[in-house]
Structure 1
Amino acid sequence: MSEAQDLRKRSKKRYGGGHRSKKYKGSRELEVGMQGILITCNMNERKCTAEAFNLLNEYADQLYGPENFKEPEESSSEEEDDEDVEAALKKEVKQLKASSGKRERRFQAMDSGANNVIFIKTKNLDPDKLVHHILSDLHITKKNKSRVILRMLPVSGTCKAFQEDMDKYLSEFLEPWFKAPNQGSYQIAFKSRNSSHNKRDDIIKALAGLVGKMNPKNKVDLTTPELTIIVEVIKSVCCVSVVRDYTLYRKYNLQEVAKEEGPKDGKQEEVTTNQEEIKSNQEEKGGKQEEIKSNQEGKDGKQEEIKSNQEGKDGKQEEIKSNQEGKGGKQEEIKSNQEEIKLNQEEIKSNQEEKDGKQEEGKDAPKTDKEVKGDEEEEK
């Protein structure tokens, strides 16, 4: 192994080559600040991703031209052998920087955080313009170019999916369409996935209030609105966009918009959309049931803990009560002993008084003949 090749290996380790997979995994998740396209499918996400790349690149080439993506060229081993160590290191660092700068392509698949939904991150293009161009072509040509893709929704902005953050972000995001002197009829298409803290009615009410404040002439139209505000919440990320022809293009359903049938397809499209929403709602319901079950288990655990603490508390109270009763019994015993001692003392005192009385009585009584005779004999 040449010195330059050995240097290449060491430089890859030095500049984080060994940790690339971990960093790459983290960067493939839907995050606040991204733009892109949300795509719904039916069970086959891998096939949906491949189909989406083909479709997006086809139409992006029409709007923006082919993507210019080149990997950095590798220098020959002979050239590397001729370079000294310092020059080889500088060149390697330069190539690594150039490679990292060109690695990000205009379409990147991200983990959306929901089943049957993929997110394609876009770079250097307008996702709203691109999706509208695709739907317009399918609507005119009636060519069905998707098998597993259902709906394709542009995401022009993202923010945290909390009411305060959404109000702050949308109050600025919606200005180009709704702030005076701009005005228009509109509807709100809201969907929440894997998020239990966003209520549909609350979000729509707050959003309608924001639009009304921007210009009182903005009117709600649920039949043929000029604009549709799309709000898609997935976990803690809120994806938003403002689109045109939402009703004409069958709620941006690629398969429905490409059908040959005319207006009579409205009911069928509505049925398909409803079925999709029912399935999504069932998945969301399943997620909520799991969350409820987890919360219930946590609640049961807390109740058991409270019960255990209460039993421990009751046990301590019983112990205290028992100790108090034992203490009371001892006090009664002490009191009884004190009374007994007092009685004994009184008895001793009584006996002493009785003895003293007998002694006084013996002292004062006259002597008998026998005692006198004894005294005389004692004197002799």
Structure 2
Amino acid sequence: MSAVQNESRKRSKKRYGGGHHNKRWKGSRELEVGMEGILITCNMNERKCTAEAFNLLNEYADKLYGPEKLQDDTGSSSEEDEAEEEDVDVALKKEVAQLQASGTKQERRFQALDSGANNVIFIRTQNLEADKLVHHILSDLHTTKKKKSRVILRMLPVTGTCKAFQDDMVKYLTTFLEPWFKTPNCATYQIAFKARNSSHNKRDEIIKSIAGLVGKLNPKNKVDLTNPELTVIVEVIKAVCCISVVKDYTLYRKYNVQEVVKEDAPKPNVTTAKTDTDKPEQKERQISEETKQEGEEENDKNVPQDNKEVDKGEGEGE
């Protein structure tokens, strides 16, 4: 009886996909030093996120670079947001099969690889500028306010990778950051650092070392945490450090595709606020003028002395 139960368990596990995710990624390629691409974060549904990512990236890549010559309908078989889970599985199986094909593996424009962290997908890019593509996507979403994904959270371009050790990062960034920060180039900037599955790097030390490096490239480079011109993104996953320099990081809500399509909060009415604040000031002026007039009429000498004490006290408080 126990043998029958075990056999039944095995069947149900195969049927309902138990361990399917681990098997799928075990045989696939992983994020490595020397790659470029896009890090995409999601919330608990990596398979659907991958399908959405291929749809979104191919849609905008076709506009910027034209259709891919060797594209085999991957990522575009289901363009509707209401895609069923079965359709997603079929698309992903097809993608994995094509990635494993030796003839097309290195020629694909987008390749899904294991990032090394949960809820993070790495899409390797070929023959295109990942930072330009992601900025174009976010710019369009910010303008149109049209939601085109349900699972994707953030899209972070990766234009450089190195080993995730502080010495290696500083050495790599010394030349990597030159196009943006080396004299005569300069800009206001901030550093966005995050580490996943890596405990040997301390956030504060990494940020200080990068900031010191940027300062050496040009002393005119200044930190601005409110509205910087450029943002240095540093994402550490296990032993790989992913780096990019992006524009409009604050404007595009930290490159979050869900937040960027939301309507901006209405700004307060400046004229109304101004008139409201003017009212109590006008009352105070009227009261002070009336008091002054009464004091002059009564020739009260104590009134000017009190005024001087008040002015002196306010000055010391400021």
Aligned to 1:122: 125
* Aligned counterparts of 2:264 and 2:174: Cα–Cα separation in 1: 40
- 1:65 corresponds to 2:50: no
Aligned to 1:175: 178
Aligned to 1:48: 49
Aligned residues: 216
* Aligned counterparts of 1:231 and 1:247: Cα–Cα separation in 2: 16
Residue type matched to 2:163 in 1?
K
Checking the alignment, whether the CA contact within 8 Å between 1:70 and 1:102 is kept in structure 2 is no
* Aligned counterparts of 2:118 and 2:102: Cα–Cα separation in 1: 33
Cα distance, 1:102 vs structure 2 = 6.6
Aligned to 1:215: 218
| More displaced stretch, 25-34 vs 132-141 | 25-34
Distance 1:61 1:70, change over 3 A: closer
Cα distance, 1:103 vs structure 2 = 5.4
3-state SS of paired residue (2:249): coil
* Aligned counterparts of 2:266 and 2:202: Cα–Cα separation in 1: 33
3-state SS of paired residue (2:258): helix
1:113-152 matched pairs, under 5 angstroms: 113-152=116-155
Cα distance, 1:28 vs structure 2 = 1.4
1:344-363 matched pairs, under 5 angstroms: none
3-state SS of paired residue (2:259): helix
* Aligned counterparts of 1:131 and 1:262: Cα–Cα separation in 2: 24
1:223-265: per-residue Cα shift (whole Å, max 9, x none)? 000000000000000000000000000000001000123367x
- Who wins on radius of gyration, i.e. which is larger? 1
Aligned to 2:308: none
1:116-144: per-residue Cα shift (whole Å, max 9, x none)? 00000000000000000000000000001
Pick one of 190, 194, 207 that aligns with 2:193: 190
* Aligned counterparts of 1:27 and 1:104: Cα–Cα separation in 2: 16
Residue type matched to 2:38 in 1?
I
Aligned to 1:241: 244
Residue type matched to 1:154 in 2?
P
Aligned to 2:228: 225
* Aligned counterparts of 1:159 and 1:44: Cα–Cα separation in 2: 28
Cα distance, 1:190 vs structure 2 = 0.3
Aligned to 2:286: none
Cα distance, 1:100 vs structure 2 = 2.2
* Aligned counterparts of 2:63 and 2:266: Cα–Cα separation in 1: 29
3-state SS of paired residue (1:168): helix
Checking the alignment, whether the CA contact within 8 Å between 1:114 and 1:193 is kept in structure 2 is yes
3-state SS of paired residue (1:254): coil
* Aligned counterparts of 2:105 and 2:242: Cα–Cα separation in 1: 27
- 1:258 corresponds to 2:261: yes
Residue type matched to 2:237 in 1?
I
1:25-79: per-residue Cα shift (whole Å, max 9, x none)? 66610000000000000000000000000000000000000000078xxxxxxxx
* Aligned counterparts of 2:187 and 2:41: Cα–Cα separation in 1: 28
* Aligned counterparts of 1:102 and 1:55: Cα–Cα separation in 2: 20
% identity of equivalent residues: 81
* Aligned counterparts of 1:230 and 1:256: Cα–Cα separation in 2: 18
* Aligned counterparts of 1:57 and 1:28: Cα–Cα separation in 2: 21
1:277-309: per-residue Cα shift (whole Å, max 9, x none)? xxxxxxxxxxxxxxxxxxxxxxxxxxxxxxxxx
TM-score (norm 1): 0.55
* Aligned counterparts of 2:116 and 2:105: Cα–Cα separation in 1: 27
Aligned to 1:283: none
Distance 1:26 1:168, change over 3 A: farther
Aligned to 1:160: 163
3-state SS of paired residue (1:255): coil
Distance 1:111 1:70, change over 3 A: closer
TM-score (norm 2): 0.65
Residue type matched to 1:63 in 2?
L
What is the RMSD computed on CA atoms of the aligned residues?
1.9
In structure 1, runs of 5+ residues without a counterpart are 1-21, 72-97, 265-380
Aligned to 2:30: 29
* Aligned counterparts of 1:173 and 1:103: Cα–Cα separation in 2: 25
Distance 1:106 1:217, change over 3 A: same
